[in-house]
Structure 1
Amino acid sequence: MTAKQMLAQRARSVEEYLSQCLEERGIPARLLESMRYSLLAGGKRLRPVLALSWCELLGGDAEAAMPFAASLECIHTYSLIHDDLPAMDDDDLRRGRPSNHKQFDEATAILAGDGLLTEAFVLMTEAGVKGGLAADRVLRAVNVLGRAAGSGGMVGGQAVDMEFTGREGQVPLEELQQMHAMKTGALITAACECGAILSGAPDEDVRNAREYGRAVGVAFQIVDDVLDVVGDEATLGKPVGSDEEQGKSTYPALVGLDKSRELARGHVDGAVGHLCGYHGPESEFLTLLARYIVDRVY
C-alpha cells in the first residue's frame, strides 16, 4: 500500500468522526450548513492523522484522542475559510468547490470560521471529559495547540504573509522561513507534539514528535509553493499560479524550483531522522508519509 493510500485509509476514520462532531450543538441551520460545507469538503486530514499516529506510535489510546485530533481539522478549516476571504487571499475555489464566502456570503463565512475555531476547543476538552484521557495531558496539549494556532503561530504567520504580499522575490530566505514556520508549520508541529503528549510519553519522545512535525511542516509549505507553479487545478482543487499573481513571497520566487525541491528533500530527511529509534507500523507510516509529501513534486 502506498503512503497516499495509507493516508486516505486513516483519514476515513477522521472523516467519520467529523461528520457527526457538530451535531446536537444547537447551531443555527444556515451557520451549521456553512461550517459543514467546508469541514466536510475533503482534504488529506493530514493534521489529525499525524496526531493520531504519534499517539499510537508512543503507546497512547488513539481512539480516546480522536476528539482532539478532530479539533485540529476544525482549526485548519477555519483558517482556510478566512484565508479565502476577499480581504485576505480572495480565492474563489477551495478543494475544487466554490470558497465558503462564494457559496454562502462573506458574513456567514466569517462566522463559520469563528464557529469552527471555537468548537475546536470544545473538542479538545472532550478528549478528557468523554475520552477519558488524563486531565494534565489534555491541558498541556491544549496549551500547545492554542499557542500554535494563535497570534504567535498560524494567525501571526498569516499577518506576516499579508505584509510580504507584493514583495515577491525580495523577502530574505530567513524571514520567509520564519513566516511559513508560523503560518503552516506551527499547526503541523503541534499536531505531532499533541499526539505525543496525549499518549503520556516521556519528554524525549515529545521532542522527537515536535521536531519531526517542524521539519515536515517546512517541507509541506515548500512543496505547496512548488505545486502552485507546476501543479494543475484539477489535482490541487484551487487555482494554480495565484501566488505569483498576488505577488506572494514563495520559495520558488526566491530560490527557484530546483533549489526549492532540494530544500524540501533535506527537511524530509531531517524529519525521518527523528524516527530512527522507533519501530512498527506507525513508524513506517510516518516515514512513508514524510517522503510522500516531497514525492508529489518529482
Structure 2
Amino acid sequence: MSFDRVLVVGAGQMGAGIAQVVAASGRDVLLHDTLPGATARGLEAIATSLGKLHQKGGPDPGPVLDRITAVESIGEADLMIEAIVENAEAKKELLRAADDALPAHAILASNTSSIPITQLAAATSRPAQVVGMHFFNPVPVLALVEVIRAEQTSDETVEAIVALARDLGKTPAEANDFPGFVSNRILMPFINEAAYALMEGVAEPEAIDTVARLGFAHPMGPLALADLIGLDTCVAIMEVLHEGLGDPKYAPCPLLRRHVAAGRLGRKSGRGFYEYG
C-alpha cells in the first residue's frame, strides 16, 4: 500500500512532527484538530522546523508545506495516524469516527505511547487494520518508530506500516501489545525513580540529570526529558503501566502528581522540574 494521502489527527507537538515527516516523503497530508487554533499553530511549528532543517541542508520548506492541508473534519485518506491526548476513551471515540468516515481499505494507526492497541482495535469494525505507530519526540529528528501489533492486527497491516516507516526515513522496531510496549516500559520507571531521588533529597535536578548524561551517556537527563515529554503525559503512562501490569513499582511518584496538580507540566507550561522562558 502506497498511502498517497495520510490523515493526521492532533496538531500538537507530536502530530505536527508526524505531518511534517509524512509530507516530506512526498505524500499529501490532511491535518485535523478539534481545538480552536490548533492546526494553525501546528502549521506554524512545522514551518519553523522546516526552516531550521533547511538551514542545515534540508529540503525547501515550500513544497513540503504545500502538501499539508488543514481540514475541519475527518477527510478521505488511506491511513489515519492519531496523535491526540493520551486517554483511552478519547482515542476509542476518534477511532470509531474514523472507522465510519474512511474507506474500507484504510489503516487506522495510533501514536499512543502506552495504551494497549488491542483495546483500541476492538472499538472498530476493522480491528485487523488497527496498529500502533509510536513516533518519538522530536519526530523530524529521532529515527525510531515502534510498530505495535494488537491481538487482531493482520500481518499485511504490520508489513505495510513497517514499510511506510522505512520510507519516512525511520527505523521500525516491532513490539507485541503490552502496556507501555518496549520504550515506556523501560523509560517511565527510569523517570519515576529520578523523581523519587529528587523528592527524597538525594540530589538536585541538575545533578541527577548530569549523572545520566555523563555517567550513562544519555543525551538528556531523565528530569529534563520528562519536562520535554510533559509531566502529565508521564503520569498518564505510569498509570496505564500500573493498572495494566498490576505492580506497585509502576505507581507514579507523588512529586510527579503534585507538579501536575500545580500545573507544572514541563516545557509546554513553562515550568516543570525546570523553568523555561
Q: Which has the higher helix share?
A: 1
Q: Which has the higher strand share?
A: 2
Structure number with greater CO (CA < 8 Å, separation at least 6) is 1
In the superposition, the TM-score normalised over structure 2's length comes to 0.31
